[in-house]
A and B are shown apart, each in its own frame.
Chain A
Amino acid sequence: MRNLRLGKYVLPLFSVIAIVYLMIPIAYTFVFSFNDSQKTNLIWRGFTLDNWINVCQQQGVCEAFGNSVLIGVISTVLATTLGTMIAIALVRYRFKARSFVSLLIFLPMATPEVVLGAGLASQFFSIGAAKGIATIIIAHVMFCMSFVVVTVKARVASLDPALEEAGRDLYGSPAQVFWKITFPLLMPGILSAALLSFALSFDDFIITNFNSGPAMTFPKYVYTAAARGIPAEANVIGSGVFLLAIAIVVTVQIRGSLKARRLAKQK
């Protein structure tokens, strides 16, 4: 009885506190994107839509945002492609250094970002590569790839090899079997790996900061701006990204439940 009462009141209260605690920074960012700020955006000075309407007016915000999207998209495409290939190879083929490669793939995930960033920076320096968007992309592909391999590998492992054999048996050439059977069945795994990749790349500050040179990314911009007060436009972009992410999640959920309901009805 005692436990029951505890569950009835304490647990919901605890949950509410936890959620509020988690939401405060997000809510702050969102609310202050509407602040009629001047030099700093720390004190509420009144509601305005100007920041949202003229988001690109503040020097450098949109350029940094654009760079981050560009780097994110290119890194994601490269990391997802390479990572998927590695994942399939690691699950499906037996080769000499297989377990060694499996271990190596984990390393970038386990290494502290500071170490990874500094290490890469010194390598770029020693080969004389000029730092910029290209070096950021190389760095991002490197650490995103590990996450892609881990995500896609689980999907490949759960794929019944008999399905591909059935494809070959039904007159599919190796390439046709890959594109018509393997790829569509791995798609959910590849898609979530790509989303994760993009999120990691878009968000990354430490490694980027070491390897970017003069190139500006959104996290770097916010970090630099924080010294003299983050402009409200940064809040606008942050809130925008957050809302977009929520919208994607909600859409996927709704589609999923609609599909499940449709399947249930057919049955």
Chain B
Amino acid sequence: MARLAQEFIARGADLELVGIRKEFPGFTAIENLDLHIPAGEFFALLGPSGCGKTTTLRLVAGLDEPTKGKILIGGKDVTATKPHQRQVNTVFQSYALFPHMSVLENVAFGLKQRKIEDPMTKAVAALELVELGHLAQRRPQQLSGGQQQRVALARALVNRPSLLLLDEPLGALDLKLRRQMQIELKAIQMEVGLTFLHVTHDQEEAMDMADTVAVMNKGRIEQMGAPEKLYDRPHTVFVSKFLGQSNLFVGEVAESNASSISINVAGNKITVPTDRAEKHTGTIAVGVRPEKANFHETEPTAQAGLNLIGPGEIIDIRFTGVSNQYLIEIPGVGNVTVFAQNVGKSPVTELGANVWVSWKVEHSFGLSDLPENSATESISVI
């Protein structure tokens, strides 16, 4: 496979979107989008359905035209060019394999269109790359979903595009196959060194595969960065909720110094490091991930560097396999979710138990906006 992949190493190009706006009759799909994807990167565009991610992909492929803005591939302005004039290929959500052609003819289609020499040999090599060489003469309808997905990938890769676009390519596969394809897709990307732009609504898939994730919402990019960084320090309520789960607390800033900021939530002091907070004055939202929080059956002694709230009552316990998900109702604060691993007995504590919740100050994050209908009350967000 390594030797074959050599053949496909292409000049992966960088992609730049400048001030993109896309209006459809009646609504605006993309408001104002600026994006730079360096060459050779695996970039994921993550967002809920209707956030404009697929539209972005179609603009890059040339299937739609932006209302405003410029698209540059490898530094060249391609905004006005047609799809067949762009060195870009797409793996469609539905795969869009041509049903009236064999698998091999499907893969060779792009090469034949551009009158590339020896299209069949190259198509066979591309099918070998995705380990489907033995099915070359079949019709697409005769293949399983996973195999069709790989044919679609081969059909795009064989053209050595500068940029490969993937539109929810694993959406139609079952969970097990999806995990397997995630690993294969990532391996192929690393091997061929292409620029991948992957559109998905599956946060796990995005975090697992991408070098950089951009979280998109309502036609804008909310936040962009390495998956670990996005998860560790979300900047907005949307990102904190869409990428994993978060407990959010809303309160007035009570103390503030160079190193930390504290808010007051119904008499509980919650502290966040200054450099982990987006907003430093007024009412702000501070959050913590459920797996970073612990609960204690007896009140721990307060100590510096630890946020401590409670006591509250465990009102729900959910078994999820490796861990249990505890929902703790703290008077005046709201519901807090805590994950505890089932390393010992499960559940760790019984329903109805009175507990205190603590987490390290350095695990807090401060957001730039407030959760909807929070007013002054703090709420937890699951």
Residues of A near any B CB (own CB < 8 A):
160, 162-163, 165-173, 176, 180-181, 184-185, 263, 266-267
Contact = CB atoms under 8 A, between A and B. Distances in A.
Contacts of B88: 169
A93 to B, nearest CB: 14
- Interface range for B: 20 to 34
B142 A166 contact: no
User: Shortest 6 CB-CB distances between A and B: which pairs?
Assistant: A170-B110, A166-B96, A171-B113, A162-B96, A168-B83, A171-B84
A266 B138 contact: yes
Interface of B: 61-63, 82-84, 88-90, 92-94, 96-100, 109-110, 113-114, 138-139, 142, 155, 159
A160 B95 CA distance: 11
9 contacts: A160-B96, A162-B92, A163-B99, A169-B63, A169-B89, A170-B84, A180-B109, A184-B100, A185-B100
Contacts of B113: 170-172, 176
B159 A170 contact: yes
Given A263-B142, A266-B142, A171 B159 contact: yes
A181 B142 contact: no
B109 A170 contact: yes
Contacts of A263: 139, 142
The secondary structure that dominates the A interface is helix
B75 to A, nearest CB: 21
Nearest to B161: A169
A220 B27 CA distance: 59
A214 B138 CA distance: 57
A168 B109 contact: no
Contacts of B96: 160, 162-163, 165-166
Nearest to B165: A169
B155 A170 contact: yes
B115 to A, nearest CB: 10
A263 to B, nearest CB: 7
Contacts of A172: 84, 109, 113
A128 B62 CA distance: 52
Given A166-B90, A166-B96, A181-B98, A171 B139 contact: no
B91 to A, nearest CB: 9
A170 B139 contact: no
A40 B286 CA distance: 102
A167 B82 CA distance: 12
Contacts of B90: 165-166, 169
A267 B100 CA distance: 17
